[in-house]
Amino acid sequence: MALSACASQPAAPLAPQPLRSIDEARFFTGRWYEIARTPMQITNGCVAGTTDYIRGANGKLRELDACHMNTPADEEKSIQGPVTILNPGENNKTLVNYRLLYGLITISRTYWITDHGVDYDWFMFTDPGFKNISIFTRTPRPSSADVAKLTARARALGYDTTKLEYPTEFPSGAD
């Protein structure tokens, strides 16, 4: 009886599959600014969030995520780790092994780049479990109209955008 109860449980929904491939050279370079996100414990109090993609001399890709606590003038916190592209050629599913405490602890996260601008001016990344979404742009202060369009795009993909937070306070000079 217990087995039949387990078998009848609906499978957890998966995030929508990424819509198109990524040009690795255009996407995985430079700074992206976090415009919106699903609240998570790790981001409580974070404003002015950024993701930087850095390619080392050895050709390996690294991700550096940073934000400031409470206000853009407050302390910056960051986390980083190597990036593995899980589907070479498509380049829209990644694994980041974040290193903490001088590399003694590793936290692994899988991200899907679910959608992105054709000019690589914005992207949405999600987790495969359809729980979290973040929206990034290449500019720290997109227009309200652009933010509304990106939020509508996330909604069209099936995300509950009423839960999004918009922690976009960037220090002056971030442009």
Assess whether pLDDT exceeds 80 at residue 12.
Answer: no
Distance CA 88, CA 36 (A): 27
Average pLDDT of the residues in 3-25: 73
pLDDT at 172 (0 to 100): 56
Q: DSSP readout, 90-129? A: T--EEEEEEEETTTTEEEEEEEEEEEE-TTSSEEEEE-TT
Extents of the domains making up the chain: 13-163
- Per-residue pLDDT tens for 19-53? 899 999 999 999 999 999 998 877 778 888 999 99
pLDDT at 160 (0 to 100): 92
Does residue 59 or residue 16 have the better pLDDT? Answer: 59
Assess whether pLDDT exceeds 70 at residue 123.
Answer: yes
- Give the contacts of 36 (CB within 8 A, at least 6 positions apart): 133, 134, 135, 147, 150, 151, 154, 164, 165, 166, 168
Does residue 12 or residue 123 have the better pLDDT? Answer: 123
Structure tokens at 142: 């997109």
- Per-residue pLDDT tens for 126-166? 998 888 999 999 999 899 999 999 999 999 999 999 999 99
- Per-residue pLDDT tens for 83-103? 999 999 999 999 999 988 776
Assess whether pLDDT exceeds 60 at residue 77.
Answer: yes
pLDDT at 42 (0 to 100): 73
In this structure, which topology does domain 13-163 adopt according to CATH? Lipocalin (2.40.128)
Assess whether pLDDT exceeds 80 at residue 73.
Answer: yes
